[in-house]
Structure 1
Amino acid sequence: MDANTSSSQNSSQTPSSCFSSPPGSSIFAVFTVTNLLLLLPLSTFILGFGFLRWRKQRPAAMNPLDVFTFHMVVMELFGMSSSVTCFTGAYKNHQNMIKVGCNMFAITSCVKMFFHVLTCMERYMAVVHPLTYRNLSKSGGVMIRNICVGFVWFLLAGLIALRLQMGNNFNMILFFCNLVLSLIVSSFCNISVVRVLNRAGPGEEGANAGKTDTLKQKALVTITAIMAVLLVRFSGNLICLSLGSSHVLSSYDTCVVLTSGVWFCLPSSYVLPLLFLHRAEKLPCLKYNKN
């Protein structure tokens, strides 16, 4: 009887419900504090540095990767405020705060992956279809980029509203569907860039060949880094979900395993900001040629 009851309780456990339990709330509290100490200063610096750069150049002349990074950082700040709300609700045992904060954090964590996808697609177009990319940069490229960014924010608002009408499994289904889609797109972009990396394309011969090869290599590094952190996120959360649904763990251990999955989200939160600092030659751990 006790074994059946334990299995029944484990099968009903979800990451959202575990956030209000003692082990889950403790793990999520450490995660939230870590984000506030590391990601908040990083995000603030990037937005401040980006604003100063924006004042010195026309918005249309900005690097598309920087635009995606800035929006990603703003969405990260929104996600951090949601995690703080969730943690505060767990601390005060306020179920409505837990529900609102944790669901907003979960959906934001899903939707922000679209900025990873947009970054990969932008690098894919620049390398695999350079002529089309140059023509779009001179005409409707900025408008297309703005439409894509606006769609991501609209999607975030729509999914948050939709979550109120859906069951407890909505966040997990959305998370893995979006993560698989992001992995497929980034893998496709990665393979496509690798195929053309050592092959000269239209308008790339002669004096421009060396510069073009460098741009291709940077594109490959960007896409590979994004694909790697998404793979870590997918593998880690899949393992946590599998262990948490195995019915062999106690209710306490199940919540520990399920809640620990949030830590696999950290690499994907830092990849675009760190790539931005690398492009701006602001990473303190690297030495850059100032000549």
Structure 2
Amino acid sequence: MTAPTTAWSPPLPDAPGFEHAVVETPGLRTHLASIGEGEPVLMLHGFPEHWWQWHEVAPLVAAGGFRVLCPDLRGAGWTVADDPRIERETRLRDVLALLDALDIERAHVVSHDMGVITAMQLTYDHPDRVRTAVQLSVWPAFITFSPRLAPAFQHLPPFVWHQPGASLRPTFSPRYAARPMSEATVEAHLAQFARPEVDAAVRPLVRRMVLPEAMRMARGVYRRKRLPVPTLVVFGRRDHPTTPELLERLCRNPERHADRFELAYVDNAAHFITDDAPDEVAGLALDWFRRRGSSVGSA
């Protein structure tokens, strides 16, 4: 089904050019924003964001000849679940069901922050469904952990113990965004938390999905696997503590763990890289699609 943004409660943030629909799969009604035509690109949002995270990036990618699909993942945005429980791979199963419902065999996958967890699970366990992957602001799963990465987790305790109605505004502080966000932008990102079920999902998402997956990475589970999907990992140069020097040292000899892997950096961008530098993110994604797995623009 399709509906104007005013038909949703609370109203959807404005984003010209997007179409909005509900895709029904067993136990889930996924709100899907889409734009463009062509090869499918699935964009998986981070936290505490939703489909609107991509409102500047997706039109640029769509203009390159792609159909960009921006779902609200379970526990976020305007998606409705029959069962509020969230486990480590719940969102993975949701995304696979969404691809099946849309009759999409393979897609390019762009992900940020918490969305990267689901994207990584896809690329390692269901590589046949992923054409290429672009991973934003999260280390590759095969990274060698270092104590120098510890400050990257300092934002998690408030989410682990999140109470209903607690403010999430500090998440958008200058510590994580190189370009100050306007009040309207912050409000657009946080609009979803007017829905009690979204607010209630914060703790299980962190406790039962993020932390278990982080422990698997720390234990080297993914270093013992092979990443077959062409994967580009992108960081803002102001996304501390993940400096380029540290990241490249901890990802030394990536060919041991991945078939086709590259790192890229964006100047004047921090963790919320899609807000800080949407043009650069779209440009890197389009270049990666065309170099590593797309027929669009090929000779």
Query: Taking structure 2 as the reference length, what is the TM-score of the superposition?
Result: 0.27
Point out the structure with max Rg over C-alpha.
Answer: 1
Higher fraction of strand: 2
Structure with the bigger RCO (C-alpha within 8 Å, sep 6+) is 1
